[in-house]
């Protein structure tokens, strides 16, 4: 296996909350290069199975290479995780024992200048994680009004200067359409009142555009609305998010499931009343981990409505 520079985010915690065991089936909905997946397969040896999804062809190829030693125990599929129910249906699997989502962009995607995710590398204004998506960052910046662009920067990037940047984008595209990340960085830098700031001036706008291009919140919302039936009783769902809007969606769904719905008893147990965050040591080794939040739930056994391990806390 190609050695990753960092170990996968919150790895120990993921394994603990997924409670990996042999003879069970796990789904990694955002398999990336297969870092978490490899650990899940190792932990669930010798018979645990893992279905890994990613909608990026290149990620699937990396995962295939990295997980090859596990043979048929690992099945990798290029697909949006929001379509998990139809993926399982095609595999004739009714429900699984654990699902992991590690949301957002991977280091490999970020560092590949040709994908357009990074403000530090000049490349095409693309930002699609899946090449099957039709709208690129360039399309959004070319077609949307200043008000719509500003809304994206504000909502998904909490960018204070959203209006100024959006207006500058529209002025710039009246001259010629923007094609590269470098051109966008220039526009952003020029619309900032001063260069003094803790982070690169393009950080928030780039994050916001990426979230919009990939419809990241809609995918998560869709998945959360439909995933409950895909877990066996005792099965666990673990989600790592990096954005406050994502974390809020996960928190609200999990709380609702743990409370029960309209007269029915709760059917999920909240394993993480508060989000689990990386240790300061992990953040020091991997700065990308600094905004990670992990939340986990366990589906309650239908018959007993109790936890399979008797309710002890992790
Ligand atoms: C942070 S990386 C995951 C890294 C992985 N956990 C590992 O250990 O290598 C996120 C991955 O999720 C994928 N992804 C993001 N949204 C997705 C979606 N809606 N459907 C499928 N894959 C998605 C990205 O393409 C990326 O490869």
The answer to whether residues 148 and 175 belong to one domain is yes
**209 and 222 share a domain?**
no
242 lines ligand 1 (CB under 6 A): no
- The reported pLDDT for the residue numbered 5 is 63
Predicted confidence at residue 304, as pLDDT, reads 45
Are 236 and 248 in the same domain? yes
Positive or negative torsion for Cα 227, 12, 76, 133: positive
Q: Under a CB-based contact definition with an 8 Å cutoff, are residues 297 and 276 in contact?
A: no
Q: CB neighbours of 122 closer than 8 A, spacing ≥ 6?
A: 113, 180, 181, 182
Domain extent for 93: 11-108+216-299
* Residue to mutate, 65, 76, 106, 290, ligand 1, most ligand atoms under 8 Å from C-beta: 106
Is pLDDT above 50 for 311?
A: no
CA–CA dist 13, 24 (Å, integer): 19
Q: What is the number of structural domains in the chain?
A: 2
Among 30, 42, 50, name the best residue to mutate to test ligand 1's pocket (greatest count of ligand atoms within 8 A of Cβ): 30
Say if CB 50 and CB 74 are below 8 A apart: yes
DSSP 88: H
Both 207 and 221 in one domain: the answer is no
pLDDT digits (tens, 9 = 90+) for 53-84: 999 999 999 999 999 999 999 999 999 999 99
Residue 83 CB–ligand 1 contact under 6 Å: no
Contact criterion met (CB below 8 Å) for 236 and 18: yes
Say if ligand 1 is within 6 A of residue 32 CB.
Answer: yes
Q: Is 286 in the pocket of ligand 1 (CB under 6 A)?
A: no
CATH code of the domain covering residue 138: 1.10.150.170
Decide if 83 is inside a domain: yes
**Residue 124, domain member (yes or no):** no
Confidence of residue 4 (pLDDT cuts 50, 70, 90): low
> What pLDDT shows up at residue 210?
98
Q: How remote is the CA of residue 102 from the centroid of ligand 1, in Å?
A: 6
In this structure, the answer to whether residues 260 and 291 fall within a common structural domain is yes
Q: Mark which of 213, 228, 247 sits at the end of a domain.
A: 213
The reply to whether 208 and 224 lie within a common domain is no
What is the average pLDDT across 195-210? 88
Q: How much is the pLDDT for 199?
A: 86
Q: Which atom of ligand 1 is nearest to the CA of 223?
A: 19
Output the average pLDDT for the chain: 92
**pLDDT tens, position by position, 168-177:** 999 999 999 9
The alpha carbon of 30 and the centre of ligand 1 are apart by a number of angstroms equal to 3
What is the percentage of the chain residues whose pLDDT exceeds 70? 93
CB 148 within 8 A of CB 111: no
* Predicted pLDDT of residue 157: 96
pLDDT given for residue 52 in this prediction: 98
13 lines ligand 1 (CB under 6 A): no
**Same domain, yes or no, for 139 and 265?**
no
Output the pLDDT for position 264.
76
**Are the CB atoms for 53 and 121 separated by under 8 Å?**
no
Distance CA 73, CA 37 (A): 11
Determine if the pTM surpasses 0.85: yes
pLDDT digits (tens, 9 = 90+) for 86-138: 999 999 999 999 999 999 899 999 999 999 999 999 999 999 999 999 999 99
Round to whole Å and give the CA distance between 54 and 29. 7
Does one domain contain both 74 and 101? yes
Same domain, 193 and 228: no
Tokens of 252: 């609200």
CATH number at residue 229: 3.40.50.150
294 DSSP assignment: E
**Structural domain includes residue 119:** no
By alpha-carbon position, which residue is closest to atom 5 of ligand 1? 32
In this structure, the answer to whether residues 80 and 228 fall within a common structural domain is yes
- In a domain, residue 160? The reply is yes
Which one of 184, 213, 242 terminates a domain?
Answer: 213
pLDDT in tens, 253-263: 999 999 987 77
Any atom of ligand 1 within 6 Å of the Cβ of 181: no
Ligand 1 near 53 CB (within 6 A): yes
Please check whether residues 209 and 221 belong to one and the same domain: no
| Residue 254 CB–ligand 1 contact under 6 Å | no
pLDDT for the residue 302: 61
What's the pLDDT score for residue 313? 35
**Would 198 be classed as within a structural domain?**
yes
- Does residue 56 have its Cβ closer than 6 Å to ligand 1? yes
Residue 123 lies in a domain: no
pLDDT (0 to 100) of residue 11: 97
């Amino acid at each position: 296996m190609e050695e990753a520079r960092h170990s996968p985010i919150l790895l120990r915690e993921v394994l603990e909350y997924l409670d990996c065991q042999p003879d069970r089936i796990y789904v990694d909905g955002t398999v990336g290069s297969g870092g978490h997946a490899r650990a899940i397969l190792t932990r669930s040896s010798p018979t645990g199975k893992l279905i890994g999804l990613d909608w990026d062809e290149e990620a699937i190829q990396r995962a295939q290479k990295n997980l090859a030693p596990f043979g048929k125990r690992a099945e990798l599929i290029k697909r949006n995780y929001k379509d998990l129910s139809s993926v399982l249906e095609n595999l004739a699997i009714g429900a699984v024992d654990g699902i992991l989502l590690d949301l957002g962009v991977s280091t490999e995607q970020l560092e590949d200048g040709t994908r357009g995710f990074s403000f530090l590398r000049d490349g095409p204004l693309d930002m699609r994680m899946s090449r099957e998506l039709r709208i690129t960052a360039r399309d959004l910046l070319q077609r949307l009004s200043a008000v719509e662009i500003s809304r994206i920067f504000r909502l998904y990037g909490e960018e204070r200067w959203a209006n100024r940047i959006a207006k500058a984008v529209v002025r710039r595209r009246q001259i010629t359409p923007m094609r590269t990340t470098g051109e966008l960085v220039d526009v952003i830098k020029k619309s900032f009142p001063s260069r003094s700031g803790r982070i690169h001036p393009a950080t928030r706008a780039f994050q916001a555009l990426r979230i919009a291009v990939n419809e990241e919140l809609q995918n998560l919302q869709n998945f959360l609305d439909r995933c409950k039936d895909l877990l066996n009783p005792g099965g666990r769902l673990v989600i790592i998010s990096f954005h406050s809007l994502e974390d809020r969606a996960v928190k609200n769904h999990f709380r609702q499931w743990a409370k029960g719905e309209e007269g029915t008893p709760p059917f999920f147990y909240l394993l993480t009343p508060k989000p689990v965050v990386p240790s300061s040591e992990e953040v020091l080794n991997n700065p990308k981990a600094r905004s990670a939040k992990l939340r986990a739930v366990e589906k309650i056994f239908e018959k007993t409505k109790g936890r399979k391990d008797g309710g002890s806390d992790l």
